[in-house]
Amino acid sequence: MKILKKIFLILLIFLFSSVTTVYLYRAIESNQMRDLKKYHIESRATKLYNYVNYISISEYIDADKKYLEELYTELSEKENDISSKYHKKSVGNPYDNGENLNVSFQLIPKEIKGGVLLIHGLSDSPYSQRDIAEIFYKKGYYVLCLRLPGHGTVPHDLIRYTEIDWYKNVRFGMEKINEEMKKVKNPEIIMGGYSLGGALTLEYIFESLKDEKLTMPNKVFLFSPAIGIPEVAKYGNLHGILSNFSYFNKFAWNNISIEFDKYKTRSFPKKAAKSISNVVRKNSKTLGKLSKENIEKLPPIYIYQTIADSTVKNSEIYKMYSKLDNNEKNNLYIFDINREYENVFSENYRELKIEDIIVNYNIKSKVHFISNNTTKLPDFIYEDVYLMEGNKPILKNRNKIKEAWHEGEYSLSHVGMLYSPENIYYGRNGILTKINIKGEDGLHIYSYGWSRIRYNPLFNYLSDKISMNLENEYKTD
C-alpha cells in the first residue's frame, strides 16, 4: 500500500511539473508576439451603458455615436502608425468616408409590420449586420442593431466588458423593440444573431421561458451561431496568474495585431474567449434540461451554417436540432464546400454525406443542403431538402439555385456568412479583399486570415430564404 501511495505521489508531482512547465513555456513564448500598444492595455471609461438614462432608442444611438466620435478623436491625436485605423489618414479609419459604421443603428420602413433585433458577433461591430438588415427592412420590418459593449472601440474593451454586459445590452434592445412596436398592430417580433450574437439570442429565449417580463420573439434567425466552441476557451482566465506581471502582459492575448480593420477588432484577448465560453456553456446546460413542454414553447428557429467552419463546432448545432424535434417548425440550412475543388480537401470533407449527418445526429427538423455535389460544376448548385421519416432521411425536394461559385471560391466561411459579394469593404471586389500582400514567413506582417473568404458567394440565395421564412405561417402566439 505504501508503495502504491509513493507511485501515486510521484505521478502527481510529475503531472504538476509537466503542466507548470508547459504553462511557463507558453507564457514566455507569448513575448514573441507583437508589442502591445496603449489601446491594448487601457480603455476609456464610459457611462454610455447606463440604459435607464435613455428615454428613446434614438437618444441612445445619438449617445453611442457621440461616444465613438470622442474616442476616435482622442485616439487619432496620439496614433503615429498610419497602418492603424486610429490614425486620421489611415484608409482603415472608420471616419474615412465620413460616418463611423461601428455605431448602433436602426432602420425604419414607412409601413412597419414588425421589429427585428440583430446581434453581432465577438470582436465585430453592427456593421457586420448591415447587409442582412436590409433584407428585413425591405420586407417592412423595423430593424435595430446595438453595438455590444467592448466592440467597435479598442481591443482592451474586450477585457473590460464580459457576458454580463452583453446580456444587459440584449435585454435593453428587446425592451426598445417592444416600445417601438406599441405603435404597430399585431407586430411580429424577430431576433437574429450571428456567432456570439446567436449564442446571446439563445440565452435570451431560454431565459424568456422562465421570466415572463422578457418577450419571447415570434421567430429566430441564427447565422454561424456559437452553439459550440473549442473547449480550450473555458480556460481563458488561467493566464491571470502571470499576465498581471508586466513581463508576461502579452500572455493575456491569443494574438496581438495591428488594428487596420475598420469594423473588426483583430487583436483577441483570452478573457473574451472565456466570456463567450460562459454564454455557450450556460446555453448548453439549459438546453439539456429543457422539458418537451418548454421546447414546444420555443419559436421557429432558422439556422444558416457552412459545413466548413473553423470557429464554431457544427456538431453542437446538429445536437441542438436533435433536441428540437418538430420537423415542420425548425429549419437548418447547411452550405456545402464547392465540390469543384473537393480533391484538394481532406478526406472527411470529400467523403461527407448529408444523409449521414442527419441520421447520426437524429435531426428531425427540415434540413436544406446547398451543394454542387452531384455535378461538381460551379454554376449547378442545388438545394436539397430532407426530412426524416422513421430512421431514414428522405429527399423531399430539389431546386437549382440561381447563384454560382466564382473562380477561386472553394467554400463559405464563418466570418463571411452575412456579407454580400457587393459589400464595398469585404465583398468580392471590396477594399479589404483586394489587399494581396506576399512575402516570407516569419515577418511581423499580420497575415493570419488573408485567404479566408469574407463574403458569402451565395448571399442572394440566403436573402431569398430569409424573405421566404418571414412569410412562413409558423408564428408563436
pLDDT per residue as tens digits for the range 226-255: 999 877 766 667 766 776 777 778 888 889
Looking at residue 249, what is its pLDDT? 84
Looking at residue 475, what is its pLDDT? 46
Residues in contact with 148: Cβ distance below 8 Å, sequence separation at least 6, in sequence order: 119, 120, 161, 165, 166, 169, 196, 197
What is the distance between the alpha carbons of residues 123 and 288, in angstroms, rounded to a whole number?
A: 28
Residues in contact with 46: Cβ distance below 8 Å, sequence separation at least 6, in sequence order: 67
What residue type is assigned to position 142 of the chain? Y
Contact in structure between 361 and 322 (CB atoms under 8 Å): yes
Looking at residue 5, what is its pLDDT? 74
Looking at residue 343, what is its pLDDT? 85
Single out the residue of 101, 105, 276, 127 nearest to residue 176, CA to CA. Answer: 105
Looking at residue 477, what is its pLDDT? 40
Looking at residue 431, what is its pLDDT? 85
- φ, ψ (nearest 5 deg) of residue 191: -120, 140
Q: How far is CA 371 from CA 301, 411, 464, in A?
A: 22, 10, 16
Go through the chain and tell me how many residues it has.
477
What residue type is assigned to position 414 of the chain? H
Contact in structure between 304 and 222 (CB atoms under 8 Å): yes
pLDDT per residue as tens digits for the range 381-411: 999 999 998 889 999 999 999 999 999 999 9
- Is the domain defined by 33-470 classed in CATH 3.40.50.1820? yes
- pLDDT means over runs of 10, the chain (477 residues): 74 71 67 85 91 96 97 90 89 86 97 98 98 98 98 96 98 97 95 98 98 96 94 70 75 89 94 96 96 93 95 95 82 95 84 93 94 90 93 94 93 96 94 73 57 93 97 58
Q: How far is CA 74 from CA 77, 93, 244, 303, in A?
A: 6, 13, 26, 40
Contact in structure between 71 and 38 (CB atoms under 8 Å): no
- Three-state secondary structure call for residue 190: strand
Looking at residue 24, what is its pLDDT? 67
Domain locations in the chain?
A: 1-32, 33-470
The strand ranges marked E within 238-346 are 253-255, 268-269, 301-306, 331-335
What is the distance between the alpha carbons of residues 49 and 173, in angstroms, rounded to a whole number?
A: 12
Contact in structure between 413 and 375 (CB atoms under 8 Å): no
Name the H helices within 194-340.
196-208, 240-243, 270-289, 292-297, 314-323
Single out the residue of 225, 332, 322, 210 nearest to residue 279, CA to CA. Answer: 225
User: To 5 degrees, how large is the angle CA 264–CA 67–CA 147?
Assistant: 40
How many CA atoms lie within 13 Å of 51's alpha carbon, on the beta-carbon side? 16
Our measurement of the distance from residue 421's CA atom to the centroid of its chain's CA atoms, rounded to an integer in Å, reads: 19
What is the distance between the alpha carbons of residues 105 and 425, in angstroms, rounded to a whole number?
A: 18
What is the distance between the alpha carbons of residues 240 and 236, in angstroms, rounded to a whole number?
A: 9
Residues in contact with 137: Cβ distance below 8 Å, sequence separation at least 6, in sequence order: 107, 109, 143
What is the distance between the alpha carbons of residues 284 and 61, in angstroms, rounded to a whole number?
A: 33
C-alpha cell at 248: 508576461
Looking at residue 182, what is its pLDDT? 94
What residue type is assigned to position 81 of the chain? D
Residues in contact with 387: Cβ distance below 8 Å, sequence separation at least 6, in sequence order: 327, 366, 367, 393, 394, 396
Name the H helices within 161-254.
163-181, 196-208, 240-243
Single out the residue of 248, 75, 67, 239 nearest to residue 159, CA to CA. Answer: 239
What is the distance between the alpha carbons of residues 85 and 73, in angstroms, rounded to a whole number?
A: 12
What is the distance between the alpha carbons of residues 350 and 342, in angstroms, rounded to a whole number?
A: 6
Residues in contact with 443: Cβ distance below 8 Å, sequence separation at least 6, in sequence order: none
